[in-house]
Amino acid sequence: MTLYQAACHCGAVKYQVEGEFEYLIECNCSICSRRAHILWFVPLASLQFESGEDQLTNYKFGKRRLNHRSCQICSTAMFTHGDDKGTEKSGLNIRTFADIDITALDITQYDGKAL
């Protein structure tokens, strides 16, 4: 398993998560396309905050089922989370991970506009 470190632009919010990329998506819904998210889904409990959990702001839209979490200081979009069949899942924005070569990853295009 690989340990990934994530941080917002200003460094106030930092967390780590352990795992392996199995399925990454680039969604074309209204929020993901504007924020340029590339998402990796893991159980929310997998996130281990080092700092700044109290600096996260929450945004909901549409069906208001998902929580879009961003740093309230620098506005970096960190992750999204919501209930997936009884388990809290999180879509981590891997653009916030340290030392990731996004061009080397297998990323699936997802049609979120169609939902």
What count of residues does the chain have? 115
CA quadruple 114, 36, 22, 43: dihedral sign = negative
Percent of the chain with pLDDT over 70: 100
Exposed / middle / buried, residue 96 (Cβ in 10 Å: 0-12, 13-18, 19+): buried
Give the CATH number of domain 2-114.
2.170.150.70
Q: How far apart are the first and last CA of the chain?
A: 33
Residue 62 has a pLDDT of 83
CA distance 56 to 72: 6
Q: What is the pLDDT of residues 1-41, one digit of tens each?
A: 999 999 999 999 999 999 999 999 999 999 999 999 999 99
Domain-wise residue ranges, the chain: 2-114
Q: What is the pLDDT of residues 73-100, one digit of tens each?
A: 999 999 999 987 788 899 999 999 999 9
Q: What is the pLDDT of residues 56-71, one digit of tens each?
A: 999 998 888 899 999 9
